[in-house]
Chains A and B, each alone.
Chain A
Amino acid sequence: MTMESKNRMIDVRNVYFTYPHNNENESVVALDGVSLHIEKGEFVGIIGHNGSGKSTLSKLLNAIIFPTQGDVIVSGLNTKDQENLWTIRQTAGMVFQNPDNQLVATIVEEDVAFGPENLGVPPQEIRERVDRALAVVEMQAYAHQKPHQLSGGQKQRIAIAGILAMEPECIIFDEPTAMLDPSGRREVMETIKRLNRDKDMTVIHITHFMEEIVAADRIIVLDKGKVVMEGEPRTIFRQVKRLKEIGLDVPQMTELAYELRKEGLKIADDVLSIEEMVNALCQ
């Protein structure tokens, strides 16, 4: 095994995906020759407008669907091989948009135990995993509550704990904050960032909120089923015009810097945070 493949969490090699056909018998090309890779421990943001192929990609990484052409390799395993399926799904966990669709049990800790139970983990170890997972998302105090009594942000943290209890190496978040209010969104984002920073979890975060991925290691931009941009947040967001053309936003501070530059103010074009903007304007 080479050094490179050892650190590689996910490898997507020239992947095409076509949905068979819609009502009018036209097939829809959702991914059109996508190649990308995610290293272990990375925090990667994926952005793109609705229909750009983001969700198709996330389902391919989790072996829910399979490439029409090309290969998806998760932790060295090809999703094409049937015998790899369960290992892959355990390796790459997924958290979806709607917390209400992901919780299955009537008590929080039973919900978190659902995954490891299905993996055949011994009861004593399930207990330990559930406690650990609830501690990581800071929801121990709610272990005996009913999920429907929790707020949206709390439900999403329980969904994350449920994935953690399966001990994955990587979690794919598919717009986990889309249905939350600002405080719920903050809770969930703090949890995701902590997982990556303190637990070395590989994180793939798909979102429409640009502020959430300002601190990512790398951002991948999808448009019409293709990877159109890839790089550090600073490199991506400074391309304000291009992002707007493909229907995306930039963080407010980046947009303000862009507007001020247009007016002739000498200011860097890769400002991302309030702090940086204050520094730029108060020199």
Chain B
Amino acid sequence: MSVEIKNLSHTYSEGSPFEFKALKDINITIEDGSFIGIIGHTGSGKSTLIQHLNGLLTPSSGTVIVDGKDIFETKKAELIALRHHIGLVFQYPEHQLFEETVQKDVAFGPKNQGLNEEEIDQRVRQSIKMVGLDFDAIKDKSPFELSGGQMRRVAIAGVLAMEPSVLILDEPTAGLDPRGREEILAQIKLLHSQKQITVILVSHSMEDIGKMVDKILVMNEGEVVFFDTPNRVFTEISTLESIGLAVPEVTYLMRRLKEKYPEIREDVFTVEAAKKEILKVIRG
């Protein structure tokens, strides 16, 4: 599914002393099947933006068009159906687990979609497997006796079970340890390539985003600063720093090395790519 954001603005508490313009005239198109990263410091408008994509927030002006349909023009019933296709995984989604067992919790979404028992069961099995958990071992456990990383995955499985065409994840790795982070990201990547769905990943980690996405949307004070490939975005070090963001350490390193090796590429943001580039210039 493609998502087109058109002249989108959002103002909180409009007309009150607390009025706050969270989004200012956003215009971007997210292609069907693409993998997009959204980055920006706290308060830049990232969360406000993604909450418009499935109609949780209504724009002050402008609109969102999903698969050619203006989601704020459609009837309520249609919007609800559309929401099933746009899965939103909030920050710390494990706080939203509530059922007695993992199986019941993951089944909650598809149940509300009105699917039959058999189909629900199949989707629950599939999505638990997709997040890298063992269905038989975990299905009867209480979600609350799992580790933090496992709880996070169960929560993500709950969204996957609704089989969204667009999956939006708001900081899915926050608070996890390095291995937990790596595992979750690897699964999201796999999901994107296997299911060909559109993925939108909000993250504070330039390293994570740089490795995974086709395009990065950089936001600041409710506006789009960049919407481009990681290679192009990461070379804009001074602009990124001026809005409170930083590039990965290896990117800084490449810039420093340029003094001695003028031919070295600067658009490098993973250890793997830095290794290749350094070997290339040193060995000639």
Contact = CB atoms under 8 A, between A and B. Distances in A.
Bind each other: yes
Interface of A: 22-24, 49-51, 97, 151-152, 175, 178-184, 208, 211, 247-249, 251-253, 255-256, 259-260, 263, 265, 274, 277-278, 281-282
Nearest to B256: A278
Nearest to A249: B178
Nearest to B249: A252
B177 interface: yes
B252 interface: yes
B145 interface: yes
A178 B174 CA distance: 7
B41 A181 contact: yes
Contacts, number: 93
Interface of B: 41-43, 141-142, 145, 147-149, 174-180, 204, 207, 244-246, 248-250, 252-253, 256-257, 259-260, 271-272, 274-275, 278-279, 282
A263 B250 CA distance: 18
A184 B42 contact: yes
A180 B260 CA distance: 36
A255 B271 contact: yes
B273 to A, nearest CB: 10
Contacts of A256: 250, 253, 271, 274-275, 278
A23 B145 contact: yes
A259 B244 contact: no
Contact of A252 (B142, B147, B204, B271): B271
B271 A281 contact: no
The DSSP consensus for interface residues of chain B is helix
Given A23-B145, A259-B271, A274-B253, A265 B180 contact: no
B179 A49 contact: yes
Nearest to B178: A249
Nearest to A246: B179
Given A51-B147, A274-B249, 19 more contacts: A49-B180, A50-B148, A97-B175, A178-B175, A179-B175, A182-B245, A208-B176, A208-B177, A211-B249, A247-B177, A248-B177, A253-B249, A253-B250, A255-B271, A260-B279, A265-B279, A281-B257, A281-B282, A282-B257
